[in-house]
A and B are shown apart, each in its own frame.
Chain A
Amino acid sequence: GAGVSQTPSNKVTEKGKYVELRCDPISGHTALYWYRQSLGQGPEFLIYFQGTGAADDSGLPNDRFFAVRPEGSVSTLKIQRTERGDSAVYLCASSLNRNPTYGYTFGSGTRLTVV
């Protein structure tokens, strides 16, 4: 597509529930990144995919967080047993590849609220 698409744009869930956040990157971009942004702060890295594999998941806060990209395009970030501290904006971005000379294109984000 023309840009990075994230769905849903907003998600309200109860504490303890499971949620899935979807990211559809720019066609042809092999690198896909997930970031989390808390209120008033800059985004923080969560996980990076090169193709289908998670090349770096060092930013995932704990084992309740998991992400997949089974066909090397769309990615899903999954959060189990949600906690109120998980409330944030989850941003997805794609890049042509992992070469740092290439810039990013971000999606509009999913605002997750855990009540």
Chain B
Amino acid sequence: KQEVTQIPAALSVPEGENLVLNCSFTDSAIYNLQWFRQDPGKGLTSLLLIQSSQREQTSGRLNASLDKSSGRSTLYIAASQPGDSATYLCAVPNAGNMLTFGGGTRLMVKP
């Protein structure tokens, strides 16, 4: 059974810092890995989807990397802003595209 873990569970940084969020998974036979953002009381917004054949994906100040062999993905946020404050979740699908999520990292960027 796939298990997904996110470290740290919470992170508080001053504005402007570059930061890294970590996601690990136990079964390396994944199809892809997706990073989501969740604002308080809201649904999930897809940020980046990395296919199993890819090493990284970039969108603006966000860069996600994937290392299948070691069961790890990282989400790098450059020049963090208060508006980046949210919970970040990673998830991997099984063959039927049902997602297994990590517990999330709650990020607070202080002005």
Size range of the interface on B? 20 to 34
The residue of chain B having its C-beta at the shortest distance from the C-beta of A9 within the complex is: B41
Distance to closest chain A CB from B11 (angstroms): 15
Q: Is the interface of B mostly helix, strand, loop or mixed?
A: strand
- CB contacts under 8 Å to A, within B15-64, are 31-32, 34, 36, 41-46, 49, 51
- Contact A101/B41 with A31-B97, A56-B96 known, Cβ cut-off 8 Å: no
- Contact A43/B101 with A109-B42, A109-B43 known, Cβ cut-off 8 Å: yes
A-B contact count (CB 8 A): 72
A103 touches B43 (CB 8 A): no
B93 touches A106 (CB 8 A): no
Distance to closest chain B CB from A51 (angstroms): 14
The residue from B31, B36, B102 contacting A106, defined by CB atoms under 8 A apart: B36
The residue from A33, A42, A98, A106 contacting B43, defined by CB atoms under 8 A apart: A106
What is the bound-complex CA distance between A102 and B43, given in angstroms?
A: 19
What is the bound-complex CA distance between A113 and B15, given in angstroms?
A: 35
A98 touches B96 (CB 8 A): yes
Interface check A95, CB cutoff 8 A = yes
Distance to closest chain B CB from A2 (angstroms): 14
B98 touches A45 (CB 8 A): yes
